[in-house]
Chains A and B, each alone.
Chain A
Amino acid sequence: MRYLLSILFLIIIFAGGVLFIIVPHKTISVNEKRKLSPFPTLTFQNYYSGKYTDSIDLYYSDNFLFRDDLISIANKIKDNKGIKSSDIVIYSKNKESNNLIDKNKQVKADILDTVKIVNDDHEYQNIKSVIVYKNRALQMFAGSSKMAANFSKLMGEYKLAFPNVNVYCMAVPVGGDFYLPSNINKNNEIKFINSLYNSLSNGVVPIRAYEYMKPHYKEYLQFNTDHHWTGRGAYYAYAGFCNAIGVSPVPIEKLTRKVIPNFLGTLYYYTLSEGLKNNKDSVEYFKVQVDTKSEYYPKNSNKPIKSSLYAEYAKGGNAYGVFLGGDFPLTKITSSVKNGKKILVFKDSYGNAFVPYLASHFEEVYVIDYRYFEGSVKKLVNDNKITDILFAHNVFMFNASYTISRERNMLK
């Protein structure tokens, strides 16, 4: 009895050690959307760099007994370190933990069959801090006017290269201005958008998406648990776009409203906040009335694959994939509208929710995802007699030098 502690300690470490070997291991973590670390193979290179032993440590912790349960207990412990405000919590992750996992190991745990796994270092935005306010997760944005000027310069180069094409610029807010209290975020997004629009070159037309969305901010414009905007948010931006190009938007009542329920997005998995879990999203989308045909070009291939404007089978954590079926280097949409107008859209994944509405006003819509497209925009514009070009990004992407350098390269 005197050495009860030693006995208990020995039982724990030996039982843990033996069970680790006996119990079969999982290969994928659904919550984390990644492959769990496998046991590494020993090579000289591996050993020399220290990667071999690191990987064994990682293998051990990734495959530990009752890992999922222990993680949720750990979160409960962490939740009780102090007083949580009922309506606002800030989450920041250590820088180190970002680098622990090999990006190649990402998987879509609940894979949409059309969504490909892409391993590009720059396709990810490294999130600094996420704020959960009244059970809605939002990212803090802070832009620089220098970056805005750089992006304007790039769009000016496009206007110069295609003097007869209309060039539009649409900066999409990410929800902080609309939904965060002013002592945390005071108009950071609109300040940036204004400085971007004020520095636009002659002939580049700003799209006032922000102003068109703002009066409706009490509606469901931004997801609670995901970093994207909703189909409804995109609709108001579309109304702003129509106003700028002088057409009238199709009234929202005339569109077919559909809903995919039970969507838990990326920001939930980032924070694992209970409040978010109880505030699941639903993905609302409004189908256009015109007939469309659409096809996309996968990476490293010139063969188009048939797709549709709405991947209606999307569900669960991938429900946002309903818009265009995900991100592809190039998507071409052909509409039943015959007016000779053809638009090329540069976008990030925010654009996905927006692009479908354009089918009501353009004969052809070309959609370039700035991360993956490797071809020549000059050729694309000239061969297809493009009449309009739209830069549709969220403010984070307008504020990123990577976007600028990618889109400048495409112009070469």
Chain B
Amino acid sequence: MVFSSLFFNFFFLPIILIFYFFTKSDQLKNVILVFFSLIFYAWGEPIWFVLLIISAIVDYLNGIFVENNKDSKIAMLGVISTLIFNLGLLCTFKYADFFIENVNFLLGSSFKAPGLILPIGISFYTFQTISYTIDVYNGKVKAQRSFLNFLTFVTLFPQLVAGPIVRYSIIQNQLSKRQVSWEGFNKGVERFCKGLFKKVAIANTAGAIANQLLDKDIQSITFFGGWMGLIIFGLQVYYDFSGYSDMAIGLGKIFGFDFNENFNHPYTAKSITDFWRKWHMSLSTWLSDYIFTPIMIRFRDHRVASLIIATTTTFFVSGLWHGASWNFVLWGLYFGFWVLFESLFFAKILKRTPSIVQHVYFIALIIPSWMLFYYTDFNKIKILGATIFSFNNISADLESLLLIKENIFWLILAILFSLPTFKFLNGLVNKIKNNLVVNVLNTSITVMFFVISIILLVGSSYNPFLYFRF
């Protein structure tokens, strides 16, 4: 199930709210959360939801095992078992086809790829449970002794399928005891509606436009169409993902959880390094804590070498995490290269330039990166790359021009709201110093977001027969 569906908003959500808020005990509330979360998950994954439960059992047991053997060397076995199990799941379901294709390519063999379909959210929940066991091993958190609470942590539907990667340490206390309040509910609703609007009104439109611009005969894409397509695709990825995170965080608040933030206006970044501090923060801190930092510590005697190894590995994994295909790996390594370039020497130079220069530098690097994210076919990347960098042959096609013109208001708003415009407006509103006015203003904007999103969702159900009978 997805949050941006009519069924979720007008059926699933009202029903779980009734059950949840008419239950007094925290334990029962957890039972309800787990029950509905499993329905939510099984909605899109009717068979493989079993994996989720098995994964929860394995890590629950490993956590206890690790803690019980804290002072002994065999505690490591628990960590290893978690790694094998979770990475095994990922490798089987996400990377097996990719791996076999490459082996076949290299050896000329013809092993059959298993062709498994990637279970929803598997990249997220495996990372969550891996970090849990490691944290227990490192003594950062105490093992969860209640299976119900642990299952609540793993299955919690707001963050289950698309992040943020909520680590155990963040919500451990809330699992057994949490405050549900009107205050939190209200904030949650506000956040949820904003996220829904981002997804439905901005990301979906961006997706349609980007497809029209980028998903045609690659030779016929012009300089203008290519750049606009990549910019709008960049907006789509941002709004899609951050909208989903907003909805997750908002729903979390409604049910009394405080999740970690996931995006912090990444397009205001002043360097690639800065971008990764603001973009998909739950993933980048995860990678930093469990991959980058351990490598840095291991090779700490050789600063430059350790930096190169740690950065390259981290971004290689990051790329691969985004998708089992070489273009994603290349996408990751592209960022790895620039981060390394910056941390080795360029950051010092960049800092001395005016901030507008830093922005331009960042924007010039980020837009082309989406090309690597959009196309899995390297040939297409090569052709489009040549088009958008041939500055002596600047051209625009009528179709792209018209498309941009027809969406120009939308585009300006989408760009504005990827910057901290909201914060700025909020600041203005708060100057009014009249709580009632502020509240009414906030409420009406949020309700408007929600209503427009619902209208657009209904509108997208208009599916006339597009196949014409000749």
A binding-site residues for B, Cβ under 8 Å:
1-6, 8-10, 12-14, 16-17, 20, 31-34, 47-50, 52-53, 56-58, 60-62, 64, 67, 70-71, 73-75, 77-78, 80-85, 88-90, 92-95, 97-98, 100-101, 103, 106, 123-127, 183-184, 227, 266, 269-270, 272, 327, 348-350, 394, 396-397
Binds A, one of B55-63, B79-87, B367-375, B435-443: B435-443
Please name 26 pairs of A and B residues whose Cβ atoms are closer than 8 Å in the assembled complex, sorted by A: A1-B439, A10-B17, A31-B464, A32-B465, A47-B46, A48-B46, A48-B47, A53-B43, A58-B461, A61-B6, A61-B460, A62-B461, A70-B455, A78-B459, A81-B205, A81-B406, A82-B405, A83-B409, A98-B467, A125-B467, A125-B469, A126-B467, A183-B398, A269-B465, A270-B464, A397-B470
Tell me how far the C-beta of A23 lies from the nearest C-beta in chain B, rounded to whole angstroms: 12
| B182 partner residues in chain A, CB cutoff 8 A | 2-3, 6
Flag whether B458 is at the interface (Cβ < 8 A): yes
Interface size in chain B (residues, C-beta < 8 A) = 67
The answer to whether B185 touches A6 (Cβ under 8 A) is yes
CA A80 to CA B407, docked complex, whole Å? 8
Contact of A89 among B44, B402, B451 (CB under 8 A): B402
Known: A9-B447, A17-B10, A81-B407. A125 touches B461 (CB 8 A): no
**Chain A contacts for B212, CB-based, 8 A:** 92
Rounded to whole angstroms, the CA-CA distance of A82 and B190 in the bound complex is: 27
Q: Specify which chain B residues have a CB less than 8 angstroms from the CB of A90 in the assembled complex.
A: 399, 402-403
Closest to B184 in A: A6
Interface bits B122-135 vs A (CB < 8 Å: 1, else 0): 00000000000000
User: Which residue of the partner chain, among A6, A14, A61, contacts B457 with CB atoms under 8 Å?
Assistant: A61
Is residue B466 within 8 Å, beta carbon to beta carbon, of the partner chain? yes
Q: Hey, what's the 0/1 contact readout for B164-202 against A, CB within 8 Å counting as 1?
A: 000000000000000000100110011001000000000
Q: Are B446 and A82 in contact (CB under 8 A)?
A: no
Interface membership of B360, Cβ < 8 A: no
Q: How far is the CB of B439 from chain A (nearest CB, A)?
A: 7
Is the beta-carbon distance between B410 and A82 smaller than 8 angstroms? yes
- Whole-angstrom distance between the Cβ of A187 and the nearest chain B Cβ: 16
Residues in A with CB closer than 8 Å to B440 are 4
Report how far A52 CA is from B47 CA in the complex, Å: 13
Chain A nearest Cβ from B351, distance in angstroms: 39
> Quick one: which of B269-308 are within 8 Å of A by CB?
none
Query: Of A34, A58, A78, A348, which is in contact with the most chain B CB atoms at under 10 Å from its CB?
Result: A78
Closest to A142 in B: B217
Contacts A2-B439, A81-B406, A90-B402 known; list 12 others, CB within 8 Å: A3-B186, A6-B189, A8-B443, A16-B9, A48-B47, A57-B1, A60-B5, A73-B455, A74-B460, A89-B406, A90-B399, A123-B469
The closest CB in chain A to the CB of B457 belongs to: A61
Nearest chain B residue, comparing its CB with the CB of A107:
B465
Separation of A396 and B470 alpha carbons in the complex (Å): 9
Known interface pairs A9-B189, A83-B406; A64-B399 also in contact (CB < 8 Å): no
Residues of B within 8 A of A394 (CB): 470
What is the chain A residue whose CB lies nearest that of B399? A90
For A2, the closest partner residue in chain B by CB is: B439
B315 on interface, CB distance cutoff 8 Å: no
A397 to B468, CA, bound (A): 12
B450 to chain A, nearest CB (A): 7
Write out the residue numbers on chain A whose beta carbons fall within 8 Å of the beta carbon of B10. 13, 16-17, 20, 60
Output the least CB separation between A281 and chain B (Å).
15
Q: Quick check: B406 and A32 within 8 Å, CB to CB?
A: no
CA A237 to CA B208, docked complex, whole Å: 39
Q: Which chain A residue shows the least CB distance to B410? A: A81
Residues of B within 8 A of A2 (CB): 182, 186, 439
List the A residue with the shortest CB-CB distance to B470: A348
